[in-house]
A and B are shown apart, each in its own frame.
Chain A
Amino acid sequence: MTDDPSANPRQAARWGWAWACAVWAVAWALMLHFDGRIGLAQVAITLVLAAALAAIWLPLVSSLASTAAAVLAFDWFLVAPRHTLRVAMTEDFLLLIEILLLSWVVAALLARGRVLARRARRSARHAEQMRSLGDALREAEDPLQRGQALRSALADLLGQPAKLLLRGGALPADDAAAMTLGEPDAGELVGMWYCVRLCRQFGPGTGCEPDLPALHLPLRGGDGAGAAFGAALVPVHPLQMAAPEVLTQAQALCDQMGQLLHRAQIRREADAAMAHAQGQAVRNALLAAISHDYRTPLAAIMGAASSLRDLGAKLSPAQRERLLESIVAETRQLSRLTDNTLQLVRLDAPGVTLHLDWESADELAGAAIVRARKHEPERRIKVWAEPGLPLIRCDAVLFSQMLENLIDNALKYSNAPAPVELVVRRQAAHVVFAVRDSGPGVEPAWREKIFDVFQRGDWRAGSTNSAAQRGAGVGLAVCRAIALAHGGALKLRQRSHGGSSFECWLPEAKGPRVEESYAALEAGRT
């Protein structure tokens, strides 16, 4: 512990003594020179002056002692009767007493001033230490760097490298969940954990376990209640801790780190709570959307089936046929909805794996068209694929589901005689699957929201069809999730002459080659 770390205290003391001795020597030379030429009182002023000057450099006790010795010497050499300590005249005796008291008062005042100045310097340096630790903690990018900043601040204050323990999660924690700096041994770790759990300082200067070789300081956060966020251990000499400000300062440095950790923990907890709440909201919205989508076809099935059961005999064959058709169609709708919902949940789960393989783009398009025609035989569905398309790397089942959904969507939202087209082409290093309809298009306000599973409402321009209220949400949301899972994108483009084009853009991948030897063999056999 030093007031000015740049200076060696022992050397400074030595210089102080040298200056004081020089002052006294000059003063004595002057006094002996003026002895007998001027009055004793005037000579005595020189002594007072010398005592005051020497007090600037000497410690208080030395200053008082040297002044007393100088007054005795003055009496011995200069006051009559000379070479005795006796004083003949009363005014000389008074003079000696006044010189002594005056010099002592001056020395005491100077010493007091020095102490105050030293304290002010120390406070300034402590404030500077706190500020620079604060800066270092703010700039640090990870707990390791923050720990190093605290260690260097403590080393600066106490002159010894500190060891740190930073606790990770909540208590009860173990060594595995905590981070240590400075390689504390097992015994030191026990002490530090003790310090963390009790959130108390102990060791020299703390009034608790003063015989320990090291100072244990908790990193306190918040109001200091509960467990600390870590502990610092610094080997110190009891003498170092004599000034209480040192302990206060060391604890303040540790608390600065503790508060930072506390704030970080609060932020983490708040983030987790918010994520949980959002997840809950997302699930609730998803469930609400899905149950709404389920209820509609279920109501239709219920209505048709109960009509057939209760009124079957009164219905004409054509009416019965219509009801049966409606049951089949609505059941298919439910089945599609279930597939989409399951797929959405699956794609949303962490660590989802796709069964990627090299697939032919026109095959996937063709298969999707075949299925769509099977379900809607009366609708016109056209497909066109650019010749020479490269193979694409995708999960065929997922990708087919996306294409079927898009075609289904286009069929649902465009009017019956107009055809739906599936066009596959190459564009800007992508393979683009575009499902085009010539329906009324999508309102501008809905163009981005339409892919959001939770968005409900009538997004079609000038819509009058109640079918628009049905789950486009889940269908398009799963399409977008599938496109994203393949590293692609799903975009909605308004066609210049009316209608929408839902486009899946898939980046072109460098496909495998059929081994040349095999191709050569094939050519030879042909």
Chain B
Amino acid sequence: MTLRVLLVEDDRELCRILRDAMTAEGYQVFTAASLSESFALLTGLGAGVAAGCAPVDLVLLDLGLPDGDGEQLLATLRQRHAVPLIVISARESDGQKVRLLDAGADDYLVKPFSIRELLARMRVGLRHRGTSIVPAVTRYGLGALAIDLGTRDVLMDGAPVHLTPTEFKLLARLVRSAGQVVTHRQLLQDVWGAEFTEHTHYLRLYMAQLRAKLEANPADPQLLMTEPGVGYRIVEAPS
């Protein structure tokens, strides 16, 4: 089955380049140059699929559109579907990036970006949601590290690594979104609770402890990556 991608981008040249690249990769691409066009397209496509299913498999969304902001589409889409959505935008403000991720965007790419990076991020997005009901990630393995969220086992070279309950919760939250950035706010809310969303220093300390236990050189991480000003990401395990 061909995967269907909605590309919302008002720059015609960039739109053409992206469409050609994605078509070459085997995606079926629908393009919209404005907010109203994308709403119309989604409605038209939605009529052809079963109720409850998303009209497309993935959305690439530019923010600055001629008739409004892409955030409106994100909000509307999130009310109905769990379709993966990647924001592509010129860097306007970092606060905006975080807000979009918190509002339900799966990823963001700052223009200019390479096609290779875009296709990789799309693959990650599709693996997590949308195409089918993906079983919840419970096992993770990268190099010498093996994590089983079900049994709460964390093994390094087969030897158990001792983690405190908070460290484990933090690691588990990242593993469930492996390959994707989880914002500071999401991590603090899911691990510590809603009243701790401003306590970023907790995160710094616990991430440092996790790195000390899981990374060979904590200052040169290979597993737990930092997205400055946005959040953290655990490297996606090879499938």
Contacts and interface: CB of A to CB of B under 8 A. Distances in A.
A358 interface: yes
Interface stretch (B48-56, B69-77, B200-208): B200-208
A355 B94 contact: yes
A397 B92 CA distance: 12
A46 interface: no
A364 B208 CA distance: 12
B100 to A, nearest CB: 15
A331 B112 CA distance: 8
Contacts of A382: 220
A367 B91 CA distance: 18
Contacts, number: 76
A358 B199 CA distance: 9
Contact of B200 (A358, A369, A522, A526): A358
B94 A397 contact: yes
Contacts of A397: 94, 228-229
A367 B221 CA distance: 8
A366 B222 CA distance: 9
A92 interface: no
A339 B114 CA distance: 17
B226 A367 contact: yes
A385 interface: yes
A360 to B, nearest CB: 4
A458 interface: no
B200 A366 contact: no
B15 interface: no
Given A328-B114, A331-B112, A526-B165, A358 B225 contact: no
B46 interface: no
Contact of A395 (B219, B221, B227, B229): B229
Contacts of A135: none
User: Which has the most chain B C-beta neighbours within 10 Å: A360, A383, A522?
Assistant: A360
Nearest to B164: A526
Contacts of A93: none
Interface string A281-322: 000000000000000000000000000000000000000000
Interface in B83-121: 91, 94-95, 112, 114
B166 interface: yes
B208 A360 contact: yes
Interface band, chain B? 20 to 34
A511 interface: yes
A391 B201 contact: yes
B130 interface: no
A357 B183 CA distance: 14
Given A355-B95, A360-B207, A370 B221 contact: yes
Interface string B189-211: 00000000001111011011000
Given A335-B112, A363-B207, A355 B229 contact: yes
A514 B229 contact: no
B208 A362 contact: yes
Contacts of A15: none
A119 B170 CA distance: 96
B227 A362 contact: no
Interface string B39-78: 0000000000000000000000000000000000000000
Interface in A357-409: 357-360, 362-367, 369-370, 382-385, 391, 395-397, 399-400
Q: What 7 pairs across the A-B complex have the smallest Cβ distances?
A: A385-B219, A397-B229, A396-B229, A396-B228, A400-B228, A358-B201, A367-B226
25 contacts: A331-B112, A355-B94, A358-B200, A358-B204, A359-B204, A360-B207, A362-B208, A362-B218, A362-B219, A363-B226, A364-B228, A366-B218, A366-B220, A366-B225, A366-B226, A370-B225, A382-B220, A383-B219, A391-B201, A391-B205, A400-B229, A511-B201, A512-B199, A514-B202, A525-B165
Interface of A: 328, 331-332, 335, 339, 355, 357-360, 362-367, 369-370, 382-385, 391, 395-397, 399-400, 424, 511-512, 514, 522, 525-526
Interface of B: 91, 94-95, 112, 114, 164-166, 199-202, 204-205, 207-208, 217-221, 225-229
Given A328-B114, A355-B94, A365-B219, 14 more contacts: A331-B112, A355-B95, A359-B228, A360-B204, A360-B208, A362-B208, A362-B218, A362-B219, A363-B207, A366-B225, A367-B227, A369-B220, A424-B219, A514-B202
